[in-house]
Amino acid sequence: MRITCPHCGDRDSREFSYKGHALALERPAPDAGAEAWDDYVHLRENPAGETRDLWHHHFGCGAWLVVTRNTLTHDVLGCELASEARR
């Protein structure tokens, strides 16, 4: 599996560490309520198909990345900086 880092280019996946779903970029407001926070902290989709993950390029540029990949085909479909994906 290879990931194309926006800074470093095409690199082996062993240079990256996996964080989890990119849902982590959509943190609820502090007063959003227990239900929203329960969803944010505990509940995850398990998609058969496209998903967006957070990866950290710890052996390279140190950037957090949002990687779009397909869990059925293992295709890596895209990669962008988390700082830009969040906007």
Partner 1 sequence: MDRLFAKTPCAGQLPLSIGGMTVSEVELGPMTALSPRKGQGAALAGALGAAHGLDWPGAGRATAAGDARAIWFGHDSVLLTGAAPDAALAGPGVLVDQSDAWTVVRLDGTGAEAVLARLVPVDLRAPGFGTGATARCRIGHMAGSVTRLETGGFLLMVFRSMAQTLLHDLKSAMEAVAARG
Closest distance to partner 1 from the beta carbon of 60 (Å): 5
d(CA 18, CA 72): 18
Closest distance to partner 1 from the beta carbon of 52 (Å): 19
| Interface with partner 1, residue 11, by CB under 8 A | yes
Taking CB under 8 A as the criterion, the residue among 23, 24, 25, 61 binding partner 1 is 61
User: Which of 20, 12, 1, 14 lies closest to 65, judged by CA?
Assistant: 20
With beta carbons less than 8 A apart as the criterion, state whether 3 and 67 touch: yes
Closest distance to partner 1 from the beta carbon of 85 (Å): 13
